[in-house]
Amino acid sequence: MNTLIEKDIYELIGDNHQMTSADTPLRSDAFEKSDTDKMQTIEKHFRVIMEEMGLDMTDDSLQGTPHRVAKMFIQEIFSGLNPANKPKISVFDNSYNYDKMLVEANISFNSTCEHHFLPIVGKAHIGYVSSGKVIGLSKLNRIVDYYSRRPQVQERLIMQIYNELKTVLETDNVIVVMEATHLCVSSRGIKDESSYTSTIQYGGIFNEKENRNDFFNMINQPK
């Protein structure tokens, strides 16, 4: 009987894009260090990585790369790891009694595959029917952006967005669709540049096929 060694298991999990946790895997002490200290540590280690690759770190173009990467990791593409960066989401009473579906389509997002640290680029489509609360349209974009800015798998990302919307809107009548290209598929491994990944999460009235079809018709309307 063949026994998979640890590195083989790592490869299988990465190539199959498996999610091992519904929550972002974080240590309990993840935010004890300041962002400045984290950037200094990342800068030091990324310099070592570049040197191991044989790059000349005295070159003017490369000297500042470790610093730029560290700043990008902490302040930009992985800023959604820190709860302190979570956007403040205000909701309002549905005083005008709008009782039909509200849809925000084609929300652009950029995330990062947690298996290979390569980009995930796509669009999100969100719909909900108010149970008494409404949310500013731009806040939907901010929620998508916040959960995207961390190492992710698409299945976890859509669940986190969906659960956040259910919580803030105080309703199960939420549907989220995400379509994305994964560069860990297109630029390495199988190198398939034409495929994309679609995920869907819904509840409440969207458990009924008729309501889901209404949502799909709205997001697929010619612009």
Look at residues 209, 135, 206 and name the one whose alpha carbon lies nearest to residue 170. Answer: 135
Catalytic residue among 43, 104, 114, 164: 114
pLDDT band at 67 (very low <50, low <70, confident <90, very high): very high
Does 223 or 24 have the greater pLDDT score? Answer: 24
Catalytic residue among 125, 164, 184, 201: 184
Catalytic residue among 154, 160, 164, 201: 154
Range of the domain at 122: 91-219
Instruction: Tell the residue number behind the tokens 């108010």, with chain if given.
Output: 130
Q: For this structure, is 113 an active site residue?
A: yes
Whether residues 111 and 64 fall in one domain: no
Structural domain includes residue 130:
yes
pTM equals 0.88
N- to C-terminal Cα separation, the chain: 57
Whether residues 65 and 103 fall in one domain: no
At 118, which CATH number? 3.30.1130.10
Q: For this structure, is 154 an active site residue?
A: yes
What is the structure's pLDDT at 119? 94
Structural domain includes residue 36:
yes
Whether residues 36 and 115 fall in one domain: no
Q: For this structure, is 182 an active site residue?
A: yes
Catalytic residue among 43, 125, 160, 182: 182
Percent of the chain with pLDDT over 90: 80
Catalytic residue among 43, 116, 152, 164: 116
Number of domains in the chain: 2
Q: For this structure, is 63 an active site residue?
A: no
Q: For this structure, is 116 an active site residue?
A: yes
**Least confident window among 5-19, 23-37, 118-132:** 5-19
Catalytic residue among 115, 152, 160, 164: 115
Q: For this structure, is 17 an active site residue?
A: no
pLDDT at 52 over 60: yes
Catalytic residue among 113, 125, 164, 201: 113
The DSSP bridge pattern shows strands 102-113 and 151-152 to be parallel
Q: For this structure, is 193 an active site residue?
A: no
At 56, which CATH number? 1.10.286.10
* Residue ranges in the chain assigned as alpha helix (H): 6-15, 35-52, 60-63, 65-72, 137-148, 154-169, 183-186, 209-219
